[in-house]
Amino acid sequence: MAELSERSGLPVPTIKYYLREGLIPPGDAVGATRARYGEAHLRRLRLVRALVDVAQLRLDVVRSVLDGIDNARTRHDAVGAAHMRLSRTDGEPASHESLRAVDEMLNRFGWTLAPDSANRTALARALDAIAGLGFPVGPDLLDAYANAMRGAAVVELNRVDLAEDRETAVEHAVIGTLLLEPVLLAVRRIAEVNVSRERTARERAAR
């Protein structure tokens, strides 16, 4: 436990808390009060920490995602499970208008989704929320995102194929889904600031 703390950089009480919460598997018992932890524990601990710190997930969501990894048989299943658990389908259903807007975007891009896809509902609900605040997202912006993300997905997928054993591949899929999101969002904010600045400069120059 002391070694696990040292190698992970996490305090012992935090590790004990994660153990109690079932976020990392118990160690192999060595006598009554000692347990042995291996590389798998360290790796899982780093993943939990990254999901909490970087992806800023709540602990209940982290547990749900990890259950998804542990039960997934293939990379595709793991991605599906992660999407399912991250895109909450409980609560208010999405409006017909937003679901139709999603389907129209899918059509324009020649994309399909399972009819019960969590991603379809999640996108429609995100559109509802923003429309409810008087700031509706039109097809122009949806298409801009879809175009942008199609280009990025091609590059993302080039990375995943390098993964080898099932466990690593599944872990990579979830990391790729979740931990690349903060990277993308940080890049988006940087792009926003710069595009906004460039535009202001252009408008000033035009006057």
Cα–Cα distances (Å) from 3 to 8, 17, 39, 202, in that order, read 8, 16, 11, 57
Which of residues 1 and 163 has its CB atom nearest to a second copy in the complex?
163
Q: Please say which residue, 35 or 179, places its beta carbon nearer to a second copy.
A: 179
Which lies closer to a second copy via its Cβ, residue 19 or residue 124?
124
Structure tokens at 82: 């992660």
Smallest distance, Å, CB 100 to a second copy? Answer: 15
Place of tokens 């324009």: 108
Residue for token digits 């208010």?
92
- The span from the CA of 28 to the CA of 185, in Å, is 40
- The distance of closest approach from Cβ of residue 186 to a second copy in the complex, given in angstroms and rounded to an integer, is 4
Residue closer to a second copy (CB basis): 30 or 140: 140
Cβ at position 112, least distance to a second copy in Å: 7
User: In this structure, is the dihedral angle defined by the CA atoms of residues 25, 49, 13 and 86, taken in order, positive or negative?
Assistant: negative
CB of 182 to a second copy, least distance (A): 4
Retrieve residue 206's tokens: 């035009």
> From the CB of 77, what's the least distance to a second copy, in Å?
12
DSSP 93-129: PPPHHHHHHHHHHHHHHT----TT-HHHHHHHHHHHH
Nearest to a second copy of 56, 71 (CB atom): 56
- Residue pair 48/61 in contact by the 8 Å Cβ criterion: no
